[in-house]
Structure 1
Amino acid sequence: MRDLKIPSERHPEKARKPDQAQPKKPDWIRVKAPTSQGYKETRDIMREHKLVTVCEEAGCPNVGECWSQGHATMMIMGEVCTRACTFCNIATGKPPSALDVFEPGRVADAVKKLGLKHVVITSVDRDDVDDGGAEHFAQTIRAVRKQSPGTTIEILTPDFIRADASVLEVVVRAKPDVFNHNLETVPGIYPEVRPGARYFHSLRLLQRVKEMDPSMFTKSGIMVGLGEDRQGVLQVMDDMRAADIDFLTIGQYLQPTPKHHRVDRFVTPDEFKSYETAAYGKGFLMVSATPLTRSSYHAGDDFARLRDARMAKLAQG
């Protein structure tokens, strides 16, 4: 994991930006430093298999809790992203090499060694690769299935915006149990927060997944505290439901460094509860909305609840 305090190394495009004030975090989103034996064991397995994790690269506040249980989120296709989202702490720039053909096997080995019942696999954006990494995702899914057939697989993909539309079929045919792609924020602040992406392209991507395989669970998430308002969040919920997305996550944005997008405000736990209530009212099967919610936080337990919710809905006719 690189030093999170040197944005010029990880984010050369942000180096000349003026510093943004970093407000003090409220008590409800403070976490303990990772020190458990389970955390160390998970870290050692990641190092042994030469794997990158979004937990470390993005500076996730939940890394201590998740890794203590062996729940690491694998990040494939390297550690350098070709995008430059203003909220993200993953290193940006030109990736130094082609995709590692042995990486899917190493991911599968690590999943088996960790004994995971549910694994989340994400990636950097690789706009330099013709298919955006779609085949690499598919190979990783197949490798995990072969070694750990009882493990459910959740993927968190890029938007494949510069690849041919047909590449999405490659990933869907590999049959992940959950297909996740995060919208990240409301459309009005995309140009500032997510300049390399397009809101309706991301929304349509998830809708197309459902059209290709109606049985596949779809999932998406947003952050709050970036400058959005409540009505904008509720509209995103409506847009997601129009695309038949099953599972919504909402978490507090935390500013990685002074060069990143500022925290507009810290959303209170009561407001998160209100968002959860509204989302269930709009028809989502599963909602996770708390200050510390992240895409892969408690993903295994949430997947079990998601599956149960679908069965209950089907039973109701």
Structure 2
Amino acid sequence: MKNIKVLRITSCYLQDGDIPYGIGELSNLQELNLCFNYFSRLDFNFSQLTRLKSLDVSCCNNLLELPELPSSLAIFTAYQCRSLTLVKDFSTKCKHLCQVSLEDEVGWSDRLLQSMLKGTRVENGCMHLQLRDLKISKGFTPLLRRGGSCRLELPENWCNDFTGFLMCFVTSYTFDMIRCDISMKQESGMDFEDDWVWEESDGGRHTLVWYVSFGSLRHTTWWYQTHVVSLKIESHLCIPSLGRYNHGFGVRLVEKKSRSGQTETSTDSSSHYTPKIKIQHDSTSELKVSLDPYRFEW
């Protein structure tokens, strides 16, 4: 089995000691899915899995800790792993992470987001972070606005001093990874019609964070417009029947930082494990894109 690239062992009631140690010797493995099992830890070594891009341990409710993960990892999914408290060197070693979904009750989220923004995707790629946590949304600057839209004034020379848009969406409704459409419209001023701040008391509990690099937008017609932009998120959650007060949405620019010392390059096939952007509409006044996570399987 040395050449195997994808291994899925899901809903098999696996407990501690049931997972073969030999999985750690599958040096060509790229995807490993162990969802819906009962083990509390993984007893094999990840050190030889240097090509591993995707690890999914969602709904393993007894999982307490994970060993040090390979730096090649691009997608890490541990949603509804409510006992998980430790992933060794997770936020500092995995520099290729572009999609993460987890149950963050132990305060990883802010540190993880900062690490992802220093990774290999920040210049020309996109990133996606899904959490059951409010730490990022509560500390987001500028503050989230109630509903699914907000406005952002673009400073002079914004396209050279910053690397992209960081968007945060919080809702009180449960969701899996979903496709969301983002509309970016050119505005003539900063006249806010509904300048209401989202607050924790509004009941939000689930947080989605997207990063869209300017490098992925430079080929669009809209790119050459400047000054003020309004952004609106559209999904099956943002509908009138749910009410505007259940959602918060915000956007900020990510400042460009020195890349000195970061010479590590992405391993093979890494572009296949990247959240996708699809241009739905492109004009001088509006850009509409769909943000699609790579894949999410239960």
Shorter-normalised TM-score: what interval? 0.3 to 0.5
How high is the TM-score relative to the length of structure 1?
0.34
**Greater share of helix:** 1
Structure with more strand by fraction: 2
Rg larger in 1 or in 2?
A: 2
TM-score by length of 2: 0.36
